[in-house]
Structure 1
Amino acid sequence: MSEDQKNSNIGLVLKDLLKQQSLSMRKLSELTEIDTATISRIINGKRKATPEHLNKFAVSLGVPFAALFRAAGYPIDQKTEKSYSDDLNATVDNIEKILESSNLYNKKFTIESVEKQLVKYEQFAQTEEGEETILNNFEKKLQKLGGIGPFISHLKVMFEQFCTKKASSHHLAVIGSALLYFIMPVDVIPDYIFPIGYLDDAVAVQLVSNLLSMKK
Structure 2
Amino acid sequence: MKNEEERNLGSLIKTLLRTRSLSMRKLSMLTGIDTATISRIANNKQKAKPSHLQLFAHHLGIPLAKFIQAAGYDVELHEKNATSDLSISIETIQEILVSANHLEHQFNLEQIHHELTKYEQFALTKEGEHKILDEFEQKVDQVRGAGPFINELNKMYNRYLEENISSEERTILGSVLLYFILSTDIIPDYVFPFGYLDDCLVVQIGLGRLAKLDHKHP
Report TM bin, short chain. 0.5 to 0.7
Runs of 4+ aligned residues of structure 1 deviating over 3 Å after TM superposition are 29-43, 49-53, 55-59
Residue 107 of structure 1 is aligned with which of 100, 105, 120?
Answer: 105
Cα deviation for residue 103 of structure 1 reads 1.2
Q: Do residues 126 (structure 1) and 124 (structure 2) align? A: yes
8 Å contact from structure 1 (residues 32, 56) kept in 2: no
Q: TM-score, normalised by structure 2?
A: 0.63
Q: 5+ unaligned residues in a row in structure 2: which ranges?
A: 7-15, 21-29, 34-47
Q: TM-score, normalised by structure 1?
A: 0.63
Cα deviation for residue 35 of structure 1 reads 9.9
The change in CA–CA distance for 1:173 and 1:193 in structure 2 (over 3 A counts) is: same
Partner of 2:179 in structure 1?
181
Cα deviation for residue 202 of structure 1 reads 0.5
Q: How much is the aligned-residue C-alpha RMSD, in angstroms?
A: 4.1
Q: Do residues 67 (structure 1) and 80 (structure 2) align? A: yes
C-alpha distance in 2 between matches for 1:38 and 1:146: 15
Could you say which structure has the greater relative contact order, defined with CA pairs below 8 angstroms and 6 or more residues apart? Answer: 1
Q: 5+ unaligned residues in a row in structure 1: which ranges?
A: 16-22, 44-48, 72-84
C-alpha distance in 2 between matches for 1:150 and 1:35: 13
The change in CA–CA distance for 1:58 and 1:138 in structure 2 (over 3 A counts) is: farther
The change in CA–CA distance for 1:56 and 1:209 in structure 2 (over 3 A counts) is: farther
8 Å contact from structure 2 (residues 173, 206) kept in 1: yes
Cα deviation for residue 104 of structure 1 reads 2.1
Partner of 2:205 in structure 1?
207
Question: Residues 56-205 of structure 1: matches in 2 within 5 Å?
Answer: 65-69=78-82, 91-205=89-203
Identity of aligned residues (%): 33
8 Å contact from structure 1 (residues 56, 94) kept in 2: yes
Aligned residues: 171
Cα deviation for residue 200 of structure 1 reads 0.5
